[in-house]
Structure 1
Amino acid sequence: MADQSIIRITKELGELQKNADLSLAVACRDTDVRNIKAIIIGPHETPYEFGFFEFSFKFHREYPRKAPGVSAITTNGGRCRFNPNIYASGRVCLSILGTWRGEPGEEWSAAQGLESILLSIQSLMSSNPYENEPGFEDANGPQDKKYQKEYVQKIRHETLRISVIQRLEQYLQIGPDGKVNVAPASSDDYDVDFESLEGGATFEPFKDLFKRRFLWYYESYLAAIHKASQEVQEGQAFSRMPFEGSGNNMEGVFHYAQLERRLKNIKRVLDEEPVQWAAQGTLPAQQEETVAVNLKRQLAQVRENYKQHSIPHNVELENGNPFVWVFTYFGRPMTNMDGGLFRIRINLSSKFPEEQPRVKFETSLFHLRIASDGTPCYWPPPNKRESMQAHLDAIVEMLEEESPPYDPRTLVHPEAFSLFWGSDTQKKQYRQRLRRSVQASIE
Structure 2
Amino acid sequence: MSNQSILRITRELNEIQRGDDLSLAVAIKDVDVRHVRALIIGPSDTPYEFGFFEFAVRFGKEYPTKAPTVNAVTTNGGRTRFNPNIYAQGKVCLSILGTWRGERGEEWSSAQGLESILISIQSLMSGNPYENEPGFEDANTEYDKTNQANYVAKIRHETLRISVLDRLEGYLNIKGTGPKAVTPYKTTEAESSEALDEYAPFEPFKDRCKRRFLWYYDSYIKAIDEESKKHKDGKSFEKMPFEGPSNTMDGTFQYTELRRRMNIVHQKLEEEVQAWAAEGMEAVKKELTIATNLQRQFEQTQEGYKRNCDVQLELELCDKNPFVWNLLLFGKMMTNLDGGMFRIKMFISPRFPQELPRVKVETPIFHHRVSKDGTLFYLDVKRIDDLGSYVDAIVRSLQDEDPKYDPRTLVNPEAAQLLWGTSDEKKQYSRKLRRSVQDSSEFC
Asked whether 1:334 is paired with 2:334, we answer yes
Distance in 2 (alpha carbons) for counterparts of 1:6 and 1:141: 50
Q: Measured at CA, do residues 201 and 323 of structure 1 come closer, stay the same or move farther in structure 2, by a change above 3 Å?
A: farther
* Residues 312 and 331 in structure 2, CA contact (< 8 A), matched pair in contact too: no
Distance in 1 (alpha carbons) for counterparts of 2:68 and 2:196: 22
Tell me the equivalent position of 1:181: none
Q: Measured at CA, do residues 302 and 197 of structure 1 come closer, stay the same or move farther in structure 2, by a change above 3 Å?
A: farther
Distance in 1 (alpha carbons) for counterparts of 2:375 and 2:353: 19
Percent identity, please.
58
Distance in 2 (alpha carbons) for counterparts of 1:400 and 1:285: 33
Distance in 2 (alpha carbons) for counterparts of 1:229 and 1:440: 35
Q: Which runs of 4+ in 1 moved over 4 A?
A: 194-198, 284-287
**Which secondary structure state, in structure 1, belongs to the residue aligned with residue 328 of structure 2?**
strand
Q: What TM-score comes out, normalization by structure 1 length?
A: 0.94
Tell me the equivalent position of 2:25: 25
Tell me the equivalent position of 1:142: 142
Gaps of 5+ in 1: 176-184
CA displacement at 1:193 relative to structure 2:
2.6
Tell me the equivalent position of 1:164: 164
Q: Measured at CA, do residues 350 and 12 of structure 1 come closer, stay the same or move farther in structure 2, by a change above 3 Å?
A: same
Distance in 1 (alpha carbons) for counterparts of 2:26 and 2:78: 22
Q: What TM-score comes out, normalization by structure 2 length?
A: 0.93
Tell me the equivalent position of 1:236: 235
Q: Measured at CA, do residues 312 and 374 of structure 1 come closer, stay the same or move farther in structure 2, by a change above 3 Å?
A: same
CA displacement at 1:411 relative to structure 2:
2.3
- RMSD of the alignment, in Å? 1.8
Tell me the equivalent position of 1:182: none
Tell me the equivalent position of 1:397: 396
Q: AA paired with 1:303? A: Q
Query: How does 1:409-428 map onto structure 2 within 5 Å?
Result: 409-428=408-427
CA displacement at 1:362 relative to structure 2:
0.8
Gaps of 5+ in 2: 184-194
Query: How does 1:165-184 map onto structure 2 within 5 Å?
Result: 165-175=165-175
Instruction: Tell me how many residue pairs correspond in the alignment.
Output: 429
Q: Measured at CA, do residues 395 and 71 of structure 1 come closer, stay the same or move farther in structure 2, by a change above 3 Å?
A: same
Q: AA paired with 2:95? A: S
Tell me the equivalent position of 1:40: 40
Tell me the equivalent position of 2:216: 217
Asked whether 1:203 is paired with 2:202, we answer yes
CA displacement at 1:75 relative to structure 2:
0.2
CA displacement at 1:2 relative to structure 2:
6.3
Match of 2:180 among 192, 198, 202: 192
CA displacement at 1:92 relative to structure 2:
0.2
* Residues 166 and 192 in structure 1, CA contact (< 8 A), matched pair in contact too: no
Query: Which piece of structure 1 moves more, 114-123 or 306-315?
Result: 306-315
Asked whether 1:271 is paired with 2:259, we answer no
Distance in 1 (alpha carbons) for counterparts of 2:155 and 2:143: 18
Distance in 2 (alpha carbons) for counterparts of 1:74 and 1:201: 15
Distance in 2 (alpha carbons) for counterparts of 1:429 and 1:10: 48
Distance in 1 (alpha carbons) for counterparts of 2:307 and 2:54: 45
Distance in 2 (alpha carbons) for counterparts of 1:247 and 1:273: 38
Query: Which piece of structure 1 moves more, 218-227 or 73-82?
Result: 218-227
Distance in 2 (alpha carbons) for counterparts of 1:355 and 1:309: 28
Distance in 1 (alpha carbons) for counterparts of 2:58 and 2:2: 19
Q: Measured at CA, do residues 197 and 130 of structure 1 come closer, stay the same or move farther in structure 2, by a change above 3 Å?
A: closer
Distance in 1 (alpha carbons) for counterparts of 2:341 and 2:350: 29
Query: How does 1:122-137 map onto structure 2 within 5 Å?
Result: 122-137=122-137
